[in-house]
Structure 1
Amino acid sequence: MIRTRGTGRGYALRGAAAVAVVAMTAVTAGCKEQPASGASAAPSVPVNSGSPTDDAKPGGASTSPSASAPAKASPKPSASRTTPTADPQGKVLMASGAQGKQVRELQARLRQIGHFNRTPTGYYGTVTVAAVQSFQGKRGLSRTGKTDTVTWQKLLGMTREPTAAELNPPTTRPVAKPDKRCLTGRVLCISKNSRTLSWMVDRKVVSSMDVRFGSEYTPTREGTFSVYWKSRHHVSSIYHTAMPYAMFFSGGQAVHYSSDFAARGYNGASHGCVNVRDEGKIATLFAQVRTGDKVVVYK
């Protein structure tokens, strides 16, 4: 241990060193905390928090060479604090992962001018991102895939307000043109290509719904059939799985509700039946269809 004699200069030196250590500690802590506050903001949106150097000198006037310096020596707010970085595309309104009514309207409007080839779902996924990029590229905008205010206003100016049918179509995919065998009488008209079922009565479509079919190992049969048995609470005797609202048309193959289809979508397949994922729609259909009604399954 080094002893320091005297009460003046030695203590003053030690005091100055202590102040320097405290000051360095404070600046170092400030630098460590700055990225954390920046990281809490969305990465794609500029944050108006100033650069680390803007906050590196706390205390304002205490950093001035002279305590008696005039007021003009006080630091002025930097431009980065008062003026956010401008986004040439405008404020982002919708982006990947968004969902809701505005997304559905976006998809319907893009479909009107040929940039979205599916029916609106209300979910901003990869297909919607690609559609927005296509629209932006055609209009000379940055192909971000995000719907900002500039993109949205441009789209509004080129399209009309979507109708209720355009916003909420009966199926996820466009309904296929009915096979000619579906144009007479009461028919369950089922298209494998569009993966839709249309319940038709005397050429008119009463309702439509999404369906899926069997795999290549258990294919759904094609042709003209008729409903020969209805079973509201049916359970498969082969696979021991529930088949609610079953309407049998060919051996053990039936049109019925599938909770697996509702949960997994087209990632799965049936054992040959025609699966419906909208329970409300098939419940209504089951009540309307009679034994003997025609069933047409076609590509």
Structure 2
Amino acid sequence: MAGVVVHKGAIAVGAVVAVVLVGGCKAQATDADGKTRPVRISPTKTDTKTTPGADTGSGKPEKPSPATPAPATPAPAPKTLIAQGRSGGEVRELQARLRQISWFFADPTGSYGSATVNAVKGFQGKRGLPRTGTTDTVTWQKLVGMTREPTKYELYSGGGIPASKPDKRCMTGRVLCISKESRTLTWMIDGHTVSTMDVRFGSQYTPTRDGTFTVYWKSRHHVSTLFHTAMPYAMFFSGGQAVHYSSDFAATGYNGASHGCVNVRDKKKIASLFAQVRNGDKVVVYK
């Protein structure tokens, strides 16, 4: 780089006149008498605070201190709702919902046994949940989201529905009080319940007639002349319609239907009933 000439008259004697860069490496100053001397250039004073990553004089950039993360709050464990050994309506609903999506194949019983445990484990494993076999809040919410509220007949597909309130016609005398709503036959004497049993009825094409009737004929070993099927403990009340034992009902439950008769599936109960009922006793069939 070429030198820069500074005239003496430009500034007062003894003052530094100008800074000359020689070769771009050294700084020099020219005095008033024309002589030159080297000049030390101090760095510009800056804020003494350092910024993250700045050179602190140690030869290494200062790294920002990592923030200490707050300890994670563990998620609360799911609350157990029902488990093995429990019984009641909530267990029956659990079984009915599992049955809707083919995880529980038996009729709901209301008892949380090994079959229910295995069904719950299968459902949990399929959805990435811990296979505990216990129904907790997470498992229940998943199940409810995949199913609908069970009907009364789904809850009691195997029978055992609590008997409906007796029709007022059942409150006097000796009566076979038969409710289509609860699918039960209640043997009553003067308003008092003697026994109750599950029953099924005719299909929509051969319905069981509603109304008030009387038992007009009993046949212990009856065989249908129309369908050639056994009708043990038959108690006829309306034409060819009778209350009788059905082996098909005992085997298949409510998957089938009668040809209009009132089927009973508990053989011991209907045998006892047959021994007590007399011709002329009242029969009330109501919805």
Superposition pairs of residues 1-299 of structure 1, within 5 angstroms: 94=84, 102=85, 105-107=86-88, 120=109, 122=111, 141-144=137-140, 172-299=160-287
Letter in 2 for 1:221: R
Q: 1:140 to 1:241 in 2, by over 3 A?
A: closer
Q: Is the 8 A contact 1:108 1:120 kept in 2?
A: no
Letter in 2 for 1:246: A
- Structure (1 or 2) with the larger CA radius of gyration: 2
1 CA distance for matches of 2:78 and 2:179?
46
1 CA distance for matches of 2:200 and 2:162?
14
Q: 1:116 to 1:298 in 2, by over 3 A?
A: farther
Q: Is the 8 A contact 1:185 1:202 kept in 2?
A: yes
CA displacement 1:244-275 (0-9 Å, x = unmatched): 00000001100000000011111100000000
Q: Is the 8 A contact 1:244 1:256 kept in 2?
A: yes
1 CA distance for matches of 2:87 and 2:241?
39
Q: Is the 8 A contact 1:120 1:172 kept in 2?
A: no
C-alpha RMSD over aligned residues:
3.5
Q: Is the 8 A contact 2:176 2:284 kept in 1?
A: yes
Q: CA deviation at 1:110?
A: 5.5
Q: What secondary structure sits across from 1:106 in the alignment?
A: coil
2 CA distance for matches of 1:258 and 1:296?
20
Percent of pairs with identical residues: 66
2 CA distance for matches of 1:292 and 1:106?
42
1 CA distance for matches of 2:109 and 2:249?
19
Q: Is the 8 A contact 1:173 1:194 kept in 2?
A: yes
Q: Is the 8 A contact 1:119 1:172 kept in 2?
A: no
CA displacement 1:47-70 (0-9 Å, x = unmatched): xxxxxxxxxxxxxxxxxxxxxxxx
1 CA distance for matches of 2:255 and 2:91?
27
TM-score normalised by L of structure 1: 0.49
Q: 1:297 to 1:109 in 2, by over 3 A?
A: same
Q: Is the 8 A contact 1:119 1:173 kept in 2?
A: no
Q: CA deviation at 1:174?
A: 1.4
Q: Is the 8 A contact 2:78 2:136 kept in 1?
A: no
Residue segments in structure 1 that go unaligned for 5+ positions in a row:
1-86, 95-101, 134-138, 147-170
Q: CA deviation at 1:173?
A: 0.7
Residue segments in structure 2 that go unaligned for 5+ positions in a row:
1-76, 97-106, 125-134, 143-158
Number of paired residues? Answer: 167
Letter in 2 for 1:260: D
1 CA distance for matches of 2:168 and 2:94?
31
2 CA distance for matches of 1:207 and 1:270?
22
CA displacement 1:69-124 (0-9 Å, x = unmatched): xxxxxxxxxxxxxxxxxx9678x964xxxxxxx4xx5225758xx98999945476
TM-score normalised by L of structure 2: 0.51
Q: Is the 8 A contact 2:90 2:110 kept in 1?
A: no
Q: What secondary structure sits across from 1:244 in the alignment?
A: strand
Q: 1:199 to 1:121 in 2, by over 3 A?
A: farther
Letter in 1 for 2:139: R
CA displacement 1:215-253 (0-9 Å, x = unmatched): 011010110000000011100011000000000000110
Q: What secondary structure sits across from 2:182 in the alignment?
A: coil
* Greater share of residues in helix: 1
Q: CA deviation at 1:193?
A: 1.0
Counterpart in the other structure of 1:34: none
Q: 1:291 to 1:119 in 2, by over 3 A?
A: farther
Counterpart in the other structure of 1:154: none
Counterpart in the other structure of 1:98: none
Q: Is the 8 A contact 2:213 2:238 kept in 1?
A: yes
Q: CA deviation at 1:141?
A: 2.5
Q: 1:116 to 1:267 in 2, by over 3 A?
A: closer
